[in-house]
Amino acid sequence: MRPLKLTAIPAMADLLPCVEIEPATPATASVIWLHGLGADGHDFEPVVPALNLPAELAIRFVLPHAPLLPVTLNGGVEMPAWYDIMRLGEERQFNRAQLILSAQQVQALIEREIARGVPSHKIMLVGFSQGGAVCYHAGLSYSGPLAGIVGLSTYFPTFDTVVANQAQAGIPVLICHGTLDSVVPITMGRNSRRNLEHMGLSPVFRTYAMAHTVSPDELIDIAGFIKQCLGSTATPT
C-alpha cells in the first residue's frame, strides 16, 4: 500500500475545518470520520494507515474538527464539542439543537465530496462517541443514498426525533462498543441497535473487552466493513 498524502484543509465558508488524507490515486470514495468530545480531527489520523485498506479503493478520509463550545460537564469551559452535554447517564441531557446543527455541517461535507466527484453511495460516515451520535442523525436524514454508517462507542440520542430519509432504507450500519465502557455504557449501544432495528435497519453489533477507546480487533472489523461497503462498483437503483 502506497503512503497516503496528508493535507490540512482550512475552514471555507460554512464548512467545518478538516484534516484530509488523500489516497495515492484520485479519490473515488470518501469516509467522513468524526472524533469524540474534547478531541479534534487529528485524533483518528493514525488509525487510517492501521486499517491497511487496499489502495484500489482510493478512499479520501475527511477528519473534521468540532467547534469550540462551552461544555456544561466541563464547568462551562470551552472545548472541541459537537454539542453540549449537561448530564451523563443513560438518560443524558444534551443540546439537541447543537447536535442537529453539527449533523447539518456533516451533510455539507457530504455535499462537498459529491461536488469533488465522489457519488453519495460511495461516502461513509464514521463517528466515535459524540461524533457517532452526530453521524447517526446526519446519515439517516441525508437525502441521497450513503454507503454506510459506523458508530463507535456511541449512542443515538435523537432516535425519537430524526426523520429518516427513504434514501437510507437498508443502509448498512456497524455498531462497535466496549463491554467495559463507563463513559457510554454498553446498554446505550444496545439501545442504539434496538432503535435502528425499529427503523427497519439491520445493524451489525460487535463488542470488545475494552473501555471508552478503540481496540486492534475493532479496527479489523471496521476495515472489513469499509471494504464491504466501498468495494462494490454497483450504483444503487
Catalytic-labelled residue, pool 40, 212, 215, 221: 212
| Per annotation, catalytic residue among 102, 120, 129, 141 | 129
| Alpha carbon separation from 148 to 39, 86, 155, 228 (Å, rounded) | 23, 30, 16, 10
β-bridge mates for residue 152, sequence order: 128, 176
> Which member of 43, 65, 153, 181 is catalytic?
181
> Strands 68-70 and 85-87, how do they pair?
unpaired
List the Cα angle 93/195/192 in 5-degree steps: 60
C-alpha–C-alpha distance, residues 206 and 172, integer Å: 14
State which H helix or E strand residue 6 sits in. strand 5-9
| DSSP state string for 123-165 | EEEEEETHHHHHHHHHHHH-SS--SEEEEES---TTTTT----
What string of DSSP letters covers 187-204?
HHHHHHHHHHHHTT---E
CA distance 18 to 197: 32
Instruction: Report how far residue 174's alpha carbon sits from residue 152's, in angstroms, rounded to the nearest whole number.
Output: 8
Is 181 an active-site residue?
yes
Cα–Cα dist 90/126, whole Å: 22
Annotated catalytic residue 129: yes
Catalytic site positions: 129, 181, 212
